[in-house]
Amino acid sequence: MTVNLRAVPMFSDNYAWILREPISGLVGVVDPGEAGPVADALRAEEGRLDFIFLTHHHADHIGGADELRAAFGAKIVGFKGDEARLPRLDLAVGEGDAVPFGAASLRVIEVPGHTLGHIAYYIEDGHILLPGDTLFSLGCGRLFEGTAEQMFSSFAKFGPLPDDTLVACAHEYTASNAKFALHADPANAALISRAAEISALRAAGLATIPVTMGMERDTNPFLRAQSAEAFGLLRAAKDRF
């Protein structure tokens, strides 16, 4: 793996993700909702931050960006179609753009649904997906601004990604998502096994992510939905669950 990945917990259930490209030494962070935990993690190592990658405008994802830029001189990267709701961008990006990151790069995927200006980042060299609040382990983000049709289309963009892709989503929602997933798909043997694994991880105080895309394809009811209509019915059921 060219890029090293590290979760930084914050708030009650958020993760920011620190990325390190060892050949160049470049360091990035994805969705720093607050600066303190990220700054502490960086200073415990080499004290470097080159890029801040934002997936969408919600405060628990961008709240620490300006402070980290001021402290480390990092460049903020975000969606060019939502600049008015983001911190000032040093690099505005859109669908298909690739942000150079040493020997690797982060490809931008526009994934509206949770918000209309949501993007994800994919690192091909290392097979890492940073989907923000679009895809969660065993779940998906709430449709605050977009439609089920948009989110279903956004999920379809993840279809070509290899099964060994690591999904590094932005919240520790997996245990609660597992309860709904088992309700929606109670006979799924892979899901039953995954739910038991999740219970053991959380009981030990451990994170349930990252998780492979292959596991999500086998167990996530939203990834397994066959139509936008089915996706929408699932999301509505999850909202009431």
Helix (H, G, I), strand (E, B) or coil at 122: strand
Query: Tokens 């279903």, residue?
Result: 152
Q: Which helix (H) or strand (E) holds 52?
A: strand 51-53
Q: Supply 184's token pair.
A: 């929606």
* Pairwise CA distance, residues 27 & 25, whole Å: 6
Q: Which helix (H) or strand (E) holds 36?
A: helix 35-43
User: Model confidence over 173-216: pLDDT tens digits?
Assistant: 999 999 999 999 999 999 999 999 999 999 999 999 999 999 99
Class of domain 4-171: alpha beta
Find, among 143, 99, 142, 139, the residue nearest to 121 by Cα: 99
User: Model confidence over 86-124: pLDDT tens digits?
Assistant: 999 999 999 999 999 999 999 999 999 999 999 999 999
- Chain mean pLDDT for the chain: 97
Q: Is the dihedral of CA 101, 4, 216, 160 positive or negative?
A: positive
User: Model confidence over 118-151: pLDDT tens digits?
Assistant: 999 999 988 999 999 999 999 999 999 999 999 9
* Pairwise CA distance, residues 43 & 159, whole Å: 37
**How would DSSP label each residue in 76-119?**
EEEEGGGGGGSSPPSEEE-TT-EEEETTEEEEEEE--SSSTT-E
Cα distances (angstroms) measured from residue 210 to each of 50, 67, 123, 134, 240: 23, 27, 14, 14, 27
Report the C-alpha dihedral over residues 72, 56, 191, 175, rounded to 10 degrees.
Answer: 70
Cα distances (angstroms) measured from residue 41 to each of 49, 119, 140, 154, 204: 11, 25, 28, 32, 22
Q: Supply 222's token pair.
A: 């939203």
Is pTM, for the whole model, over 0.95?
Answer: yes
Residue 1 has pLDDT above 80, yes or no: no
* Pairwise CA distance, residues 144 & 133, whole Å: 11
* Pairwise CA distance, residues 113 & 146, whole Å: 4
